[in-house]
Amino acid sequence: MSPRPAMLVTGGAKRIGAAIAQAFGNAGWHVVIHYGRSRDQAEALCSQLPNAETFSCELNDWNDGPAMIRSLAARLPDWRVLVNCAGVFDLDSAEAIDPSTFATAMQVNAATPALLGQTFLAHARAKTGRRLIHVTDQKLVNPNPDFFSYTMSKHALSATIPMLSMARATSADRIYGIAPGAILASHDQSEAETELSHRMNLLARKTDPDEIAKTALFMADGVLASGETVYVDSGQHLVPQERDVLFLARE
């Protein structure tokens, strides 16, 4: 097994997860790229990194995720970082919650990441302390009625950050959150809508996925106090928005 420090990013085959995997790989880490149904993208990314592997499991399941963590912990001698980046982003609203959308969002976006984190902190071995990083959303402090179940799930996940921090077995471990704003095109956004909606923030600039990845790398050093969440959104959370920017760009 490689002597490099190891990290796992869930949803690492695409989008923000892939940017995080790329950044850690280029920084000399052994990267484990989790994927669900994006095998081709995961293997393509893996082939581009100097030291990486892929691992597939179903996150909408109580058993698959913890089994993945235990399997990796048994053979990674210096597993320092778990980034919970995978998620679902399906539309329902404050006027009409969709039970199926709610159940999936709460499982994939909140329950499973929390369980993965607990299993990681219980089993992973690390020479300099472990870092559990949850990717949440700027909607934590700037909510709107769209994507109702998704937003609820991110609030639930965020609530685990201080709780897991208080429960950690050693002060060498750190539990963090990264709260992005609008980063990449979502759903059926056109290029023009994406360009407009992603500048609806305090700085009127687009936030790049690499900024999320660099924040995760910074957190891997553990210099922040445990329990902190960093907003990486060009100030979007400081601009009240009555609807999701996907819809604001169409008005």
Is 69:7 a contact under the CB 8 Å cutoff? no
Whether 71 is in a domain gets the answer yes
**pLDDT value, residue 194:** 87
**pLDDT value, residue 2:** 55
Tens of pLDDT, residues 77-92: 999 999 999 999 999 9
SS3 58: coil
| pLDDT greater at residue 194 or residue 74 | 74
Whether 12 is in a domain gets the answer yes
Exposure pattern of 162-180 as b/e (b: 16+ CB <10 Å)?
eebbeebeeeebbbbbbbb
Rounded Cα distance, 91 and 184, in Å: 16
Tens of pLDDT, residues 109-132: 999 999 999 999 999 999 899 999
| pLDDT greater at residue 230 or residue 2 | 230
Residues above pLDDT 90, as percent of the chain: 88
DSSP letters spanning 37-54: S-HHHHHHHHHHSSSEEE
DSSP letters spanning 80-93: EEEEE--------B
Q: Please give the model's pTM, rounded to 2 decimal places.
A: 0.96
Kindly tell me if the per-residue pLDDT of 34 is higher than 70: yes
Whether 88 is in a domain gets the answer yes
Average pLDDT, the chain: 95
Kindly tell me if the per-residue pLDDT of 17 is higher than 90: yes
Element (H, E) at 176: strand 174-180
Kindly tell me if the per-residue pLDDT of 6 is higher than 60: yes
| Beta-carbon-side half-sphere exposure of residue 48 (alpha carbons within 13 Å) | 15
**pLDDT value, residue 27:** 97
Amino acid at residue number 173? D
**pLDDT value, residue 49:** 97
Element (H, E) at 79: strand 79-84
**pLDDT value, residue 216:** 98
CATH code at position 21: 3.40.50.720
Whether 226 is in a domain gets the answer yes
Whether 94 is in a domain gets the answer yes
Whether 92 is in a domain gets the answer yes
**pLDDT value, residue 3:** 78
Amino acid at residue number 104? T
Whether 1 is in a domain gets the answer no
How many domains, the chain? 1
SS3 96: strand
- For the chain, give the number of residues: 251
Whether 139 is in a domain gets the answer yes
Q: Which residue range is the domain that position 75 belongs to?
A: 6-248
